[in-house]
Amino acid sequence: MQHQIVSSEFKPAKWLKNRHAQTIYPAFPWAGPPKIRLRSEVLELPDGDLTVVDWMTGGPEANPDTPILVILHGLEGSAYSPYARMMLKSAADHGWRAAVLHFRDCGDYRNRLPRRYHAGETNDIRYFLESVRAEGHEGPMVAAGYSLGGNVLLKYLGENGVSTPLNAAAAVCVPLDLHDSARALTQGFSKFYQSLLLKRMKKAVRRKFNPHTAAFDWHRAMNARTFADFDDAITAPLHGFSGKDEYYDRCSSISFLADIQCPTLIINAIDDPFMTPAAVPDLSRLSEAVQLELSLNGGHVGFIDGGTPWNPTYYLPSRIIRFLDQHIADADSHGRPLPGL
């Protein structure tokens, strides 16, 4: 696939054009994310920790040839996040099996080790994908990552190059430059999202640690006012970085895009309140396997394109399915890629 940057076909619903409305609306209970049934599996990890994989039930039966979609959620998200529920349902309706791989300490379970997750942790997705292959799945595998999960997915793809069992991948509303996103969330109304997410993150930290067990400065962590403060006080020391700058430098997916060899679609909105247009890479940063689709509108993981306020329609699920399905068909006609090593 020739590398390119293209304009998105997405057009916001006439009744929901504001970027913050697009971002917030999917979280409302009447906004349309479907009810789903899940089966949870504990995933034991090589370092002695664990996480959980939630599989969609009520869809296609498991067999070695049925396509599998793996979803990576965003910051403090889970399989019940609206975008994950929509994507799970869309995949099942399309005849695929689908699962959400949770980041450590997310969802309704706790991990064992004195750590959580971060935007550059690719070992878990690598291990899970290769475990699925090792357990006998011979059919296509694809992945979709949202926000922080999109950053993890792109970094993994860049690190692994041709050595991935994935036929194709899609990443949505990705904070390609973590420095840029940290700054964007200190501006204007974006401070609202920062405040909301920081409360959730601190609550999760308090649930796992206390002032006596924390391997970081507890007082500084609990008084963090920005993502940069939080990452410098907690994320970095918990996961082996000297501070937020090293963490952002080493984990921003923009540095890995040129090495991606798996067909990959990135969908970002220029008006995304979690980043600024300065984070958009130029062609020189993209490999020939990457297509960057830019929309003027859409907010952060919103992309509501029509319907009514009580029955909205969403652009992302069908767009992602269409892209991934195209490359499953291409792989079937030209042979499948080598599995991960």
Asked if residue 72 lies in contact with residue 150, where contact means CB atoms within 8 angstroms, the answer is yes
Q: Map tokens 């396509």 to a residue.
A: 67
pLDDT band at 3 (very low <50, low <70, confident <90, very high): low
- Checking if the pLDDT of 337 tops 70, the result is no
Query: Cβ atoms within 10 A of the Cβ of 109, count?
Result: 14
Lowest-pLDDT range of 61-65, 119-123, 221-225: 61-65
- Closest of 313, 296, 302, 335 to residue 21, by C-alpha: 302
Q: Where are the alpha helices (DSSP H) in the chain?
A: 19-24, 82-93, 123-134, 148-160, 178-184, 190-208, 218-222, 227-230, 236-238, 244-251, 316-334
131 is catalytic: no
For residues 158-162, give the mean pLDDT.
97
Asked if residue 8 lies in contact with residue 295, where contact means CB atoms within 8 angstroms, the answer is yes
300 is catalytic: yes
For residue range 47-104, list pLDDT tens digits in order.
999 999 999 998 777 788 899 999 999 999 999 999 999 999 999 999 999 999 999 9
Task: Please tell me the pTM assigned to this model.
Answer: 0.95
- Checking if the pLDDT of 138 tops 60, the result is yes
**What is the rounded CA–CA span in Å between residue 174 and residue 153?**
10
For residue range 257-311, list pLDDT tens digits in order.
999 999 999 999 999 999 999 999 999 999 999 999 999 999 999 999 999 999 9
| End-to-end Cα distance, the chain | 24
Radius of gyration of the chain (CA): 19
For residues 112-133, give the mean pLDDT.
97
- Closest of 44, 266, 270 to residue 158, by C-alpha: 266
- Checking if the pLDDT of 332 tops 70, the result is no
pLDDT at residue 2 in the model:
52
Average pLDDT, the chain: 94
pLDDT band at 33 (very low <50, low <70, confident <90, very high): confident
pLDDT at residue 109 in the model:
86
* Surface-to-core class of residue 163, CB atoms within 10 Å of its CB (0-12 exposed, 13-18 middle, 19+ buried): middle
pLDDT band at 330 (very low <50, low <70, confident <90, very high): confident
Which of 78, 81, 147, 253 is flagged as catalytic? Answer: 147
pLDDT at residue 310 in the model:
93
Indicate the angle between helix axes 148-160 and 123-134, nearest 10 degrees. Answer: 70
Helix (H, G, I), strand (E, B) or coil at 100: strand
Diameter of the chain measured on Cα atoms: 58
| Dihedral sign from CA coordinates of 187, 192, 193, 197 | positive
**What is the rounded CA–CA span in Å between residue 98 and residue 101?**
10
Could you tell me how many helices (H) and strands (E) the chain has, helices first? Answer: 11, 11
Which of 94, 179, 300, 327 is flagged as catalytic? Answer: 300
Which of 231, 272, 305, 325 is flagged as catalytic? Answer: 272
- Checking if the pLDDT of 341 tops 60, the result is no
- Checking if the pLDDT of 32 tops 90, the result is no
Q: Which string of b and e fits 117-138 if b means at least 16 CB within 10 Å?
A: bbbbbbebbbbbbbbbeeeebe
Q: Where in the chain is the domain with CATH 3.40.50.1820?
A: 4-176+253-334
Asked if residue 99 lies in contact with residue 70, where contact means CB atoms within 8 angstroms, the answer is yes
CATH superfamily assigned to domain 4-176+253-334: Alpha/Beta hydrolase fold, catalytic domain (3.40.50.1820)
